[in-house]
Chains A and B, each alone.
Chain A
Amino acid sequence: GAGVSQTPSNKVTEKGKYVELRCDPISGHTALYWYRQSLGQGPEFLIYFQGTGAADDSGLPNDRFFAVRPEGSVSTLKIQRTERGDSAVYLCASSLNVVETQYFGPGTRLLVL
């Protein structure tokens, strides 16, 4: 079956611009997670959803970052007023429920010039 998909695969933007990153989880998975991975580091937790609601957003670095999952399936990570330090790979993962294994997508590589 299809795995987690993320679009776009690459995004180049200018400092100060707004970007949206999309995640399509595995069909039937109720939990969805966002992580951020900088070069040479492991992924860092940002936020996770159980269904439509954000169950834990403690990893979002500041109020420029926001994520939604309005219908309990696709999720969008939104970054306002991008900064060069936001450049990283943004990974999405999904699991059948919160106690099951998380499966990752290929990531979106964001470069802020």
Chain B
Amino acid sequence: EDQVTQSPEALRLQEGESSSLNCSYTVSGLRGLFWYRQDPGKGPEFLFTLYSAGEEKEKERLKATLTKKESFLHITAPKPEDSATYLCAAESSYKLIFGSGTRLLVRP
């Protein structure tokens, strides 16, 4: 059965304290691995797509990486405005299979 698992469920960081979020997947026919950010009461906002093992993408303080079984979202020197839920999704047959997300809180 296709499955996407994210860890940790919740993460509290001090401003400037770097960390990584994990997304492990077991999906047949994987076409791409997606990261979205979701703020309370809002829809998911697209961040990155990764297509092949070894690929990396960066945007401001965020960097996403991909292996054959996992993806990581690295957050460098986070700021309070980075607080949100980060969702990972694997695409198979043109539909997204989401993990439950990691709720990130960055304290000033």
Q: Which residues of A does B touch, CB under 8 Å? A: 4, 31, 33, 35, 40-45, 48, 55-56, 59, 91, 93, 98-99, 101-107
Q: Which residues of B does A touch, CB under 8 Å? A: 4, 6, 31, 34, 36, 41-46, 49, 87, 89, 93-101
Q: Are B43 and A56 in contact (CB under 8 A)?
A: no
Q: Are B100 and A41 in contact (CB under 8 A)?
A: yes
Complex CA gap A111/B100 in Å reads 21
Complex CA gap A55/B45 in Å reads 24
Complex CA gap A6/B43 in Å reads 10
Q: Are A40 and B100 in contact (CB under 8 A)?
A: yes
Q: Are A104 and B94 in contact (CB under 8 A)?
A: no
Complex CA gap A63/B11 in Å reads 39
Q: Are B94 and A103 in contact (CB under 8 A)?
A: no
Partner of A107, one of B43, B45, B46, B95: B43
Q: Are B43 and A106 in contact (CB under 8 A)?
A: yes
Q: Given A104-B44, A106-B42, A106-B43, is A45 in contact with B100 using a C-beta cutoff of 8 Å?
A: no
Q: Are A91 and B100 in contact (CB under 8 A)?
A: no
Q: Which residue of A lies closest to B103 (CB)?
A: A40
Q: Are B94 and A42 in contact (CB under 8 A)?
A: no
Q: Given A40-B100, A101-B49, is A45 in contact with B95 using a C-beta cutoff of 8 Å?
A: yes
Partner of B45, one of A31, A56, A104: A104
11 contacts between A and B (CB under 8 A): A31-B94, A43-B96, A45-B97, A48-B95, A91-B43, A93-B43, A99-B94, A102-B34, A102-B96, A105-B43, A106-B41
* Across-interface contacts of B96 in A (CB, < 8 A): 33, 35, 43, 45, 102
* Across-interface contacts of B46 in A (CB, < 8 A): 101-104
* Across-interface contacts of B93 in A (CB, < 8 A): 56
A28 to chain B, nearest CB (A): 17
Q: Are A43 and B44 in contact (CB under 8 A)?
A: yes
* Across-interface contacts of A102 in B (CB, < 8 A): 34, 46, 96
* Across-interface contacts of A99 in B (CB, < 8 A): 31, 94
A55-B94, A103-B46, A107-B42 are known; give 14 further A-B pairs, CB within 8 A: A31-B94, A35-B96, A35-B98, A41-B101, A42-B98, A45-B95, A91-B43, A99-B31, A101-B46, A101-B49, A102-B46, A102-B96, A104-B36, A106-B41
